[in-house]
């Protein structure tokens, strides 16, 4: 199969549960923002920001190490079991520590009166870290369908429980009369509040662990300490890069809590977190692409035309991202209703965050140069460079302009990482990217967005017609320019 077609097909399979799940989670945003206050949603936003940090810490680059050493070691089973045992021990230790100090941790995280949140999240994070290893093995073995099925079921359980607790139980509890009150009383306690979002996640994470039991139980476990040390030497720079990456991705929501006045902190964090969800469409595509691309890039590196393939992938990646950006902003007049009215004042962050994630996606594409050459320390240094920008700009801007400062800091961070990575990659592993077309398509999408912005009227219908006409014109232009190449891939 043509390598680009193969990547596209695997992206579609890996992406099905990711796209459907993220879109359904996207549709949960109105459920949260219409049922909870900005302050309550601020608790959810800040909680999941901490989760992102800890999940990276507990997986410590073992997924990528598994891909790397599965290519070079004859005994792939030993690579897998060594990685799994390592993550199991660290995850179990984390649950014990977090549960022991749950009261003090909950106070420092502003989960006042809810130490159980800490214990729940400890189990969620540890379980997700543990399942990351068998999920990575499924990707390495190209078992995309099984990967997709388990991910889909995991997502369905999480979303189903959210709907059950928040939509059904909450509405029945608050109703004056209902024949379901006795049934709901068994499951619903109003004082738990947004905790039902966390409970749903907890049950879904444990369900994924059960569904992956064949991958967990079947292997004959061997822990090779020498191999583990090699894997850790390879993975630790990725851990540093991952933690720095989480600083770039989520630290803003943590700092908003601590750098804003107490009476505004949770309010602004909730608004920012809700509007961040609107830009999730770009993130969905990037995550979907990443699932398929990382093992693909390693396997493709053995082919003679690998660099030409990488260059073509980058061009089409930017085309798709440009379409997502323009499509979202052309339809923002109706997309904004996915968050409650009290959250919509923050919609100005959406185009900034979309562009930020586009830059991140390009950086992820470029990351092949340091992963394939084994120079993973460059990945850590690049992400640390971004983290310095993130921390500096957030500390400066948040007290002055609130969450808008966080959005601009995110864009500047990812753009800086992207540019620096390009020049370093050109030195250590040069790939002849078609910069003329890449920058041309991206620039055209920005010009068309600017036209939409300056032609904006009081009529949502007119705005939609103008925006989508320009979107169709952009797609038509791309088709005309790339028609021959696209047909070769078909």
User: Residue ranges of the domains in the chain?
Assistant: 3-489
pLDDT of residue 140: 81
242: Cα separation from own chain's centroid? 12
118 and 105 Cβ atoms separated by less than 8 Å: yes
Q: What pLDDT shows up at residue 74? A: 72
Residue 489: the pLDDT is 63
State the greatest distance between any 2 C-alpha atoms of the chain, in Å, as a whole number.
71
Torsion-angle region of 61 (φ positive above 0: left; ψ -120 to 50: alpha; else: beta) = left
Q: Collect all residues with Cβ–Cβ distance below 8 Å to 141 and sequence separation of at least 6.
A: none
Cβ-count burial of 336 within 10 angstroms (0-12 exposed, 13-18 middle, 19+ buried)?
A: middle
Report d(CA 314, CA 300) in Å as an integer: 14
pTM given for the model? 0.80
Structure tokens at 305: 């035309």
Sign of the CA dihedral running 371, 231, 59, 205: positive
**pLDDT (tens digit, 0 to 9) for every residue of the chain, 490 residues total?**
566 666 666 666 655 666 666 666 677 888 899 989 998 898 888 888 888 889 988 998 888 888 888 877 677 889 999 999 999 999 999 999 999 999 998 887 777 778 898 999 999 999 999 999 999 888 888 787 888 889 889 988 999 999 999 989 988 998 878 888 889 889 899 888 899 999 999 999 999 999 999 999 988 898 989 999 999 988 887 787 778 878 888 899 989 988 999 888 889 999 999 999 888 778 888 877 876 777 778 778 778 888 888 998 999 999 999 999 999 999 999 988 888 899 999 999 999 999 999 999 999 889 888 888 888 788 888 988 999 999 999 999 999 999 999 999 999 999 999 999 999 999 999 999 999 999 999 999 999 999 999 998 989 899 999 999 999 999 999 999 988 877 776 5
Q: Give pLDDT, residue 99.
A: 93
Q: Hey, what are 279's tokens?
A: 């830009």
- What length is written for the chain? 490
């Amino acid at each position: 199969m043509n390598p680009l077609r193969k990547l596209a097909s695997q992206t579609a399979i890996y992406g099905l549960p990711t796209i459907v799940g993220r879109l359904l989670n996207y549709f949960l945003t109105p459920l949260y923002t219409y049922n909870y206050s900005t302050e309550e949603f601020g608790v959810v936003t800040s909680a999941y920001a901490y989760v992102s940090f800890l999940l990276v810490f507990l997986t410590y680059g073992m997924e990528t190490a598994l891909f790397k050493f599965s290519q070079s070691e004859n005994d792939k089973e030993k690579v897998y079991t060594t990685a799994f045992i390592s993550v199991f021990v660290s995850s179990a230790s984390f649950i014990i520590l977090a549960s022991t100090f749950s009261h003090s941790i909950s106070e420092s995280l502003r989960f006042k009166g809810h130490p159980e949140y800490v214990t729940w999240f400890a189990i969620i994070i540890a379980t997700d870290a543990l399942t990351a290893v068998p999920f990575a093995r499924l990707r390495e073995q190209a078992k995309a369908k099984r990967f997709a099925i388990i991910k889909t079921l995991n997502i369905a359980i999480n979303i189903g429980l959210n709907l059950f607790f928040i939509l059904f139980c909450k509405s029945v509890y608050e109703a004056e009369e209902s024949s379901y009150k006795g049934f709901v009383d068994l499951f619903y306690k109003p004082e738990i509040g947004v905790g039902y979002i966390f409970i749903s996640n907890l049950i879904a994470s444990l369900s994924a662990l059960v569904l992956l039991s064949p991958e967990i139980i079947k292997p004959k476990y061997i822990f090779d300490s020498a191999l583990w040390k090699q894997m850790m030497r390879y993975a630790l720079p990725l851990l540093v890069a991952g933690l720095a990456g989480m600083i770039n991705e989520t630290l803003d929501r943590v700092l908003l809590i601590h750098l804003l006045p107490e009476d505004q902190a949770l309010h602004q964090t909730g608004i920012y977190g809700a509007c961040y969800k609107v830009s999730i469409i770009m993130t969905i595509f990037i995550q979907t692409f990443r699932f398929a691309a990382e093992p693909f890039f390693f396997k493709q590196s053995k082919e003679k035309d690998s660099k030409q393939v990488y260059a073509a992938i980058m061009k089409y990646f930017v085309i798709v991202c440009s379409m997502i950006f323009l499509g979202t902003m052309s339809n923002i007049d109706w997309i904004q209703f996915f968050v409650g009215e009290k959250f919509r004042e923050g919609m100005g962050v959406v185009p900034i965050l979309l562009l930020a994630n586009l830059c991140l996606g390009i950086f992820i594409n470029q990351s092949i140069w340091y992963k394939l050459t084994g120079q993973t320390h460059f990945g850590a240094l690049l992400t640390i460079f971004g983290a310095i920008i993130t921390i500096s700009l957030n500390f400066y801007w948040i007290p002055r302009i609130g969450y808008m400062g966080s959005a601009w800091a995110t864009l500047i961070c990812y753009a800086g990482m992207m540019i620096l990575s390009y020049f370093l990659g050109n030195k250590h592993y040069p790939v002849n990217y078609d910069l003329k077309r890449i920058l041309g398509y991206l620039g055209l999408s920005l010009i068309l967005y600017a036209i939409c912005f300056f032609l904006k009227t009081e009529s949502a219908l007119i705005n939609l017609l103008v925006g989508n006409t320009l979107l169709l014109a952009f797609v038509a232009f791309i088709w005309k320019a790339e028609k021959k190449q696209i047909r070769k891939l078909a």
